[in-house]
Structure 1
Amino acid sequence: MPMRFPQMAFLFCLCGIFLGAAVQKPSTSSSKKRAAAGSQREQLVLATVGPEKITYGELERAYQKNINRQGTKLTEAPRDSVEAFLQLYINYRLKVLDALSRGLDKDSAVLADIRTNRRLLAETFFFDKVLTEPAVQELLRRRQWELKLAILLFSRDFAQDTLPAYQRAQRALALLKQGASFEELARDSSDDRETARNGGVLPYITGGMILRPLEDVAYRLRPGEIYPEPIRTQHGYFVLKLLDRQPRVAVWARHILLPIANGDTAAALAKADSLLTLLRNGADFAELARQHSRDNITAERGGAFGSWYSRSLGFENIPSRLLPEFEEALFSIRDGELTTAITAFGVHIIRRDSTKRYTAEDERETLRRLYRRLYYEEDRRRFLDSVRARLECRWNTPVYQALLSHLDTTKTTADTAWAAAIPAALREQPLYICAQLPGLTVGQLLDTLSTPAYRAYPLRASSLKQAAERATTPALIEYLTRDLERQYPEFAHLMQEFRDGLLLFRVEQLEVWNKLARFDTAAARAYYDSTKHRYFTEPVYDLSEIYLMSDSLARELRHQLDSGADFATLAEQYTQRPGYREKKGHWGKLTPKQSQLAALAEQQQAKKGDILGPLPYENGYVILRVNDYEPPRQKSFEEAIPDFAAAFQDQQQKLLTERWLQQLRQRFPVRINTAVLDRLFRSGKRH
């Protein structure tokens, strides 16, 4: 019977249910061979465009940018699809070459956009490479395994130092080395009372579930091993023991729950034995579950829980876990086997149907989000601190003390003239100094603190240091990312794509969009003349209405109208639409697109003078009179412009683009290497 495991919020990260990962490394020799073959293929020239060569690798990267083609190799795609894409890519390169020939890449606005975008991309890319990707890879490696741990917690007193907690942890370790029972020590000494009652034992965990200092240690231990040092965390010191380490799998299981009536366990076990005998003789588990199980939810599904279950993360689609006794029995058998377990709910007959292992791709993105949420900011801060230390960044202590002496540290930047007492000479002094990097003067820090981002910022010593570090971080990141294009070809490709995309936008503005902005009346009229049979006005109905809730009254009024009664008079007396008795039911001119009443008239093919209904309408009934009717007519040129403007502009855009591309092909000859394509697609079919 599934149930929640007691929460240990201080220990477990509240990170939800995640799928696992098992990564198999290919052999080194086969990897090298595939890498060499892949490198040779990437360099194959598929086409030349003027002075440029379009290689297989370049085209494949562009092809895979489409979300529906991610990971698709060119040789796995239909040849006609690849050739069509190659033509589009050639057109793209022709336009970029035109932009380069005009010198647009040297335009100051283009260069400024590239610099701004590089700053944004470089920081994200760099920290992805040095922090996020390695951390996610380590989490994936850890998620191949499930660990069962036991802990002792010695809480720190936040009002005092951590020494007493550390000493208690050391004494516990000494006792364990002398042969003391971990379970008994947990019950007697651990400050985590929930796990203490269970001898310090936690449910199975996997990567990304517990405090990182504990997890880092746990994955280095062997089963039965106790880490020899206290492990420091924000909650205190832990003593950690690894009890078990198992490959991480998920199982699909079902059960039959037999209640223990009046405490008679023997009777429940006897019934379980009889059902087990039936099952082993070929009886259908699902049918027996529906007949005998007292777990009504799973009984309806033939005993199935309806979700994969792993020891570390519980059910994939159900926010609960199995009881430890049930879980232990389930994982002690193989697929297709049966066993029993006794829990507080009764006796369970358990069948393990099947087992699955996870792959890395099952949860790579999930773990990426987990890392960014839980660990990234701390890791980034520590990394930048280590770089500052390496670059010998330091405070100019005499200048720093002089600055503090001229500030009222009880005030904030919201106070009037908070920096007025600082001498001009002091403002020029270097406050923060780094080797190989621009430092920070007192004046630069004061300018930073005067910006809106630092409104009402405290002037305490610690706050000033934080502000100075924040102010110097952009220069530090610029230093770290200065060689990204050389270090990471994919970043160079990313920046190249941005630059080329910007150039494409600028040159298309000149050759297409600016020309389209000028409306060519003669061309538009010619387009209208060739397509005017498509543009007609809507039919227009001048309508009056009598709206009624009663069908019998509606029929009676229609009879009166047929007998010569005046429509306006009846509408003034009887219509039940608010505000329309005063109007004598008159709606005025309507089109079917504007009004459902006009749509009704159109459906009835009504003409001037017709009376329609009663017809069901808006939970009631309606009688309509067509006072006047204007049939559809062909629109004039001026009337039709809104109808054809988009299609006309699209046509003009295509004409301008095609003429432009024809000119570019004259300037930059294009040659497609058909022989290379033939060879590629022949080899692709063999694989």
Structure 2
Amino acid sequence: MKLNFYFTLIFSLLILNVNAQSASDDVLFTVGDEPVYASEFLRVYNKNLDLVQDESQKDVDTYLELFTNYKLKLKEANTLGLNTKPSYLRELSNYKKQLAKNYMTDTKVTDALVEEAYERISYDINASHILVKVDENASPQDTLNAYNGIIKLRERALKEGFEKVREEVHNGQTIYGEKLGYFSGFKMVYKFENIAFNTNVGDISQPFRTQFGYHIVNVIDKRKSRGERTVAHIMVVEKPNDSLAEKSEVRIQEIYKKLNQGEDFESLAKQFSDDKNSAPKGGKLAPFSGGQISVQEFEDVAFGLENIGDVSKPFKTNFGWHIVKLYGKKPISEFEAIKPELIEKVKRDGRSKLIDEALTKKLKKRYNITDTQPALSYFESIFTDDYFKKTWKLPSDFTAEKPLIKIGKKQLSFGDFGNYLLKTQRTQTQKGSYKSVISDKYESFLSENVIAYHEDNLEDENEDFAHIVNEYRDGLLLFELMETTIWNVAKTDSINIQEYFNKNKDKYVLPKRIDAVIASSPKQKTLKKVSELLEKKMNLEQIKALVNSNDKIEVIFTSGIFDSNHQALPKDFNFVKGISKIYNHNDTFVLVQVKDVLPVSPKSFEEAKGLVISDYQTFKEENWVKELSEKYKVEINQEALKKVKAQINNP
């Protein structure tokens, strides 16, 4: 998604479409022959007011210009027929389906499950289990054998001890006896999690079934979650193409020695950490909880630090070498802070089945659907054992057109349910009485259809859903317009981009820089000695050998090209060749040997290409909007605008 689109989309998503306007509502302006009402503008302005960072855009006239430009683009998109493109319609359809999931729930049931989930993730359970495997669609005899087997194993475990029985019976094929270690909510299938969290520590659960077979669980321990950690780190990465760079392991060990000598962690992070995001903040990272960090080694070290202020030994990850300092420990986040995340997890988890059942019940009530269905006796009469062999067919005299049930305005027939039975016989069905099989299939059929009908009619039944879909519809349409008119054209318009660069070369320059060596030390006296040695033309390795020792690192050198904004340089540093004075910077002392001063110089087209294309897109868009304003005349109702300003200034 193009960067320029973010404003376009955010702006459009915040606009509430107006389905109907009262006759007395003032027209604020027209775009071509289409009116835009003052009430719409006021809603958009007030809704966006707190989100606007640029104070100038809070000015009504400035905001009105943005709003009219938005309407001009939308007018052009519809004129070009972009709203009929298959890609646009497909994307909108996918979005509607995704959005609908948020509205296809029973709120009370969802809230209860979310609260339960929060309680579960607040604790870790240490457990072992024994599983007797049996397929979900196993025969009644195989199912009974598995059940009897787990009953006997539980009786043995109660007498002989769970661990003894677990170790003896595990064969890795039909019976599994496993130590599961600590786990929290969402780590196991819901049925298993439910039993584990509802079994007391030291107890063995009653037998229960999951899709894997029959289990018994022994809960060994229950503890509070490890919660959240706040840490800082110093990271050193390998620089294979830099001949002057030290080995990352050597450098991190030098930094670690400086820490052990009493130097400040934050100061060292500012000077030497290769994590450019955290270095200016003394290496400090945003708080994180277990499982949130993708690098397991880093998380283990962070949670292994016990006391605030503790510092780890150097350790390696895929990103480089690290030293970590603990700043804060706190239990799991507050419920409200992680509620949205929990809602999404609940909807993806086995818990979702309970939500679907509750939703079906709620929708049946809304559409006045009773639990009784007399027609099922007819389907029982035409049912045979061929169904379980997947060869069953509807009889030749099947009354397909006969009405079965009505959901809202949609009439379902005998044929709809008959075809559902034909389709679902392809999936394995456990043999049972004809009545129970037909009843189960009908409940699934009814649930699918009542939920599908509700989803298809959400825009008519839920005003909030309708507004959001309309907002996205406009935003997506503008994306299609910008992509075809500005972004893609600007990318391929190489001659005009080159011409734009030639006319604006003074905008694309490299700043003044230095080729230098920066020496850092907590002791001013050390840098005085370094300065003397540099004056004598001694190389860095010789200086390090004289100043540092195996047990003590007094100075660290950083070489490279630096501009005035580099974190290692003092703000008032003077770009002059030679050896600088000693500065107090980042809570330490620094000395700079400037080998060369690189003046401000123009960037080549290749060096500036990304920025040039972005600027050219902006330039092209501004001219394009002017053309649109000529194509679709915008007329502003000044009287209506006065009323709008008065209402904004005197809410």
TM over 0.5: no
| Structure-1-length-normalised TM-score | 0.42
